[in-house]
Amino acid sequence: MAEIRLEGAEVRIEDADGASRTILSPTTLTLTEQRIGVIGGNGSGKSTLARLVNGLVEPTAGRVSVDGLDVVRHGAAVRRKVGFCFTDPAAQLVMPTCVEDVELSLRRTVKDRVRRRQLALETLARFGLAERADVSVHALSGGQRQLLALAGVLATEPEVLVCDEPTTLLDLRNTRMIGDLLLSLPQQLVLVSHDLDLVRRCDRVLVVEDGAVRFDGPAEEAVADYVASVDPADPATSTTPGRTSPA
């Protein structure tokens, strides 16, 4: 597994009136588990934390690295190592057809056009999309679009896959299908999700609240802590302490 390190990583932005606002407080973590879940309320900072891992968001203070590669100084190398999948696949699907979209992902690493198309077709077959190769991406179902987005990312064979709420826009059947797929991948997975059943299947879970990691521990304990913070009266929750991230 890759070693993902946040060392006092902080993210601040400047509002329209010039005031500085903290999106993520200084956070120190070392992540080496196969499946890492990240949960929290809307606007808690969990997506910001995830986007630090491949440099989509850069820290305004501190440092983030993947296997020693600094996400700011070695951005291109980090992005080759870390793939990212967005909530809405429309943010990633930019070519007219499925096979062309996967080919686009391979353009930098596979120069030969014939070989690139062959690999793209093989990738689509892996994800059950072989018959959709020449179909418009706009003609796909929601689940198929998310599969295609994943196929495009995984075609480049990253070591780490970061997924930011990949099942939010899907129905129950497709949510289960995409969730099962993600958790079966050999890649190290950083999963931001509101789907607590899916997160429970992770090895380690971070609970993010008000721009800070409030709880860090085993999945069941982390989910119980999060649910208790939302509904303290829920008798099914637990208050067992977990590892906390030093600020």
Over 80: is that where the pLDDT of 243 sits?
Answer: no
How far is residue 150's CA from residue 89's CA, in Å, rounded to a whole number? 9
Q: pLDDT averaged over the chain?
A: 92
- Looking at residue 239, what is its pLDDT? 39
The token pair that represents 239 in the structure block: 């208050």
Helix axes 113-126, 98-106, angle to 10 degrees: 120
How far is residue 223's CA from residue 38's CA, in Å, rounded to a whole number? 10
Report the CATH superfamily, name and number, of domain 4-230: P-loop containing nucleotide triphosphate hydrolases (3.40.50.300)
Nearest to 44 by CA among 23, 27, 29: 23
How far is residue 29's CA from residue 37's CA, in Å, rounded to a whole number? 14
pLDDT in tens, 156-195: 999 999 999 999 999 999 999 999 999 999 999 999 999 9
Q: Give me the residue label for tokens 């179909």.
A: 135
Over 60: is that where the pLDDT of 79 sits?
Answer: yes
pLDDT in tens, 193-233: 999 999 999 999 999 999 999 999 999 999 999 999 987 66
How far is residue 105's CA from residue 109's CA, in Å, rounded to a whole number? 8
- Looking at residue 231, what is its pLDDT? 74
CA 187 to chain CA mean position, Å: 12
Identify whether the C-beta of residue 87 lies closer than 8 Å to the C-beta of residue 168: yes
pTM of the model: 0.90
DSSP bridge partners of 189? 35, 161
pLDDT in tens, 3-53: 999 999 999 998 888 889 999 999 999 999 999 999 999 999 999 999 999
Per-domain boundaries in the chain: 4-230
Identify whether the C-beta of residue 27 lies closer than 8 Å to the C-beta of residue 49: yes
Over 90: is that where the pLDDT of 241 sits?
Answer: no
pLDDT in tens, 88-136: 999 999 999 999 999 999 999 999 999 999 999 999 999 999 999 999 9
CA distances from 59 to 75, 104, 153, 164 (A): 12, 29, 24, 18
The token pair that represents 179 in the structure block: 């969730």
The amino acid at 228 = A
